[in-house]
Structure 1
Amino acid sequence: MKNQKVDIIEISWELFFQFGIKSVTMDDIASKLGISKKTIYQHFKNKNDLVEQAIEWQINHPLFSFQSEEISHLNAIDQYIEFYKFIVNQIANSCESIRYDLRKYYPKLWNKFHLTKLTTFQNELSQNLEKGIQEGLFRPEINVEWISKTMARFYMNMAESDTLILEKEDISNIEYHRELGLYHLHGVCTIKGMEYVKNNFK
């Protein structure tokens, strides 16, 4: 069973993700949890402390992992489909200002968070590609390192204003991400893999 501190961290991150860090108050968090603000301060010195611990928590407990119990037993294509669904859900519920707030007010934490997420994401994509190769669903000649590195950087940086190559409406377009997912699978799948995609990627 999760303890109260973890509940506070998870709900706080959910609110930060939806509304931005600066917009969310300790009163908002307490109200969402149905507890007093005093109870929050029993676990955290102040809001900055809560933000720092929430980021550390997210680094160590990613919201999505190809290795999670829920999807580790699936084949590589089904795992990637779950990843696509996760991305679509994140886009539908995200707030642009969280990245801005982290970069402006917590630059050191942002750099650590971003770099760790990037490295972890690339490693997970590599494992997914290797799994697909072993299952005969992905082509054995693909360059796993290059593909995983390119995809990780694309997804992690697609919304960065200084390197923005997509319109904001494209980034939030669910159909765009479906096409991107199909583009990736068409590039890495064997004939066997593509048959599976045609029957399962909806």
Structure 2
Amino acid sequence: MPTQVSLSTYRQELKVRILQTAMREFKQKGIRDVRMDDIAGILGISKRTLYEIYENKEELLLAGLHEEDLAKHEKLQALSADGKNTVMDILITIYNNDLTEITNTNPLFFAGLCKYPRVMKYLTTRTEEQKKEGMAFIYRGISEGYFLPSLDYEVVLKFIRLSSKTMMDELEFHGYDADYLFKNIAALLLRGFCTQKGIKIIDSLL
């Protein structure tokens, strides 16, 4: 029994290490340029061991995205549950986290996601879930006096999502640093739906 527990613990720890290593490599080099063999080599494990845990690159990428989304969701829930945080406190934290992620991610990573059908299906489902959470966040921002009450926020959220996608996909933007683009586009979008009370906070941030 102790041996079985030890093997199970090792397997779980290895699974976490594989995900962390794979996502780091994917984001640094782009998904296409990272082979399963490369990941096995970095970790010092056999290809057979890697394929026993993750059958292929798409399964590995899907698991990595899911774990990252889960971690982000838990952090956001904790921030929202803390009565000391206003909507703007949470928005600034999201902004800083997203800026850090975009700055440290090769644009080829985002471009490569569309090559994997299961990943795209997951991202579409995730977008629907995020839309519900986003609307709840918007209503809270309106009640706190930071967001304008007169806008159609379903349209606003769609526009924000499509703007972010365009920023990553369009060749016209490829000559700019990702953090530079993000800061400028975020300044435009965030200020657009904030009241004067919210704009003061946004301007102090940007």
TM-score band, normalised by shorter chain: 0.7 to 0.9
Residue 93, structure 1, aligned to residue 99, structure 2: no
From 187, 193, 197, give the equivalent of 2:192. Answer: 187
Query: Structure 1, unaligned stretches of length 5 or more?
Result: none
SS in 2 for 1:158: helix
1:71 and 2:71 matched: no
Tell me, yes or no, if structure 1 residue 8 matches structure 2 residue 18: yes
C-alpha contact 1:20 1:96 (8 A) present in aligned 2: yes
* Deviation for aligned residue 1:125: 3.1
Measured in 2, the distance between the counterparts of 1:124 and 1:182 equals 22
Q: Which has the larger radius of gyration?
A: 2
Q: Are 2:87 and 2:137, in contact at CA under 8 Å, matched by a contact in 1? A: yes
Cα separation, 2, equivalents of 1:14 and 1:65: 20
Alignment of 1:87-126 (within 5 A): 87-104=98-115, 106=116, 108-126=117-135
* Structure 1 residues 82-134: Cα deviation after superposition (integer angstroms, max 9, x where no partner): 22223322222222333444434x3x224313423433443343233222112
Alignment counterpart, residue 19 of structure 1, candidates 29, 47, 55: 29
Tell me if the contact between 1:138 and 1:190 (Cα under 8 Å) persists in the aligned partners.
yes
Deviation string, structure 1 residues 118-166 (Cα, Å, up to 9, x no partner): 3344334323322211211112222221111211222234323xxx374
Aligned to 1:139: 148
Amino acid at match of 1:185: L
Counterpart contact for 1:126–1:144, Cα < 8 Å: yes
**d(CA) in 2 for partners of 1:79, 1:90:** 17
List runs of 5+ in structure 2 lacking aligned partners. 1-8
> In the TM superposition, what whole-angstrom CA distance separates every residue of 1:36-55 from its partner, at most 9, and x where no partner exists?
5444234234xx2x432431
Cα gap change, 1:130/1:32 in structure 2, threshold over 3 Å: closer, same or farther?
A: farther
Deviation at 1:35, TM superposition (A): 4.4
Structure 1 residue 177 corresponds to structure 2 residue 182: yes
Aligned-residue offset at 1:80 = 2.0
Which structure 2 residues correspond to residues 23-62 of structure 1 after superposition, within 5 A?
A: 23-33=33-43, 35-45=45-55, 48=56, 50-59=57-66, 61-62=68-69
Picking from 192, 196, 202, the partner of 1:197 is 202
Q: Which amino acid is the alignment partner of residue 71 of structure 1?
A: L
TM-score by length of 1: 0.75
Identical aligned pairs, as a percentage? 26
Q: Tell me, in whole angstroms, the C-alpha distance in 1 between the residues paired with 2:153 and 2:97.
A: 22
TM score, norm. by length of structure 2: 0.73
User: 1:94 and 1:196, CA in 2 relative to 1: closer, same or farther beyond 3 A?
Assistant: closer
1:83 and 2:94 aligned: yes
Larger mean CA deviation between 79-88 and 54-63 belongs to 54-63
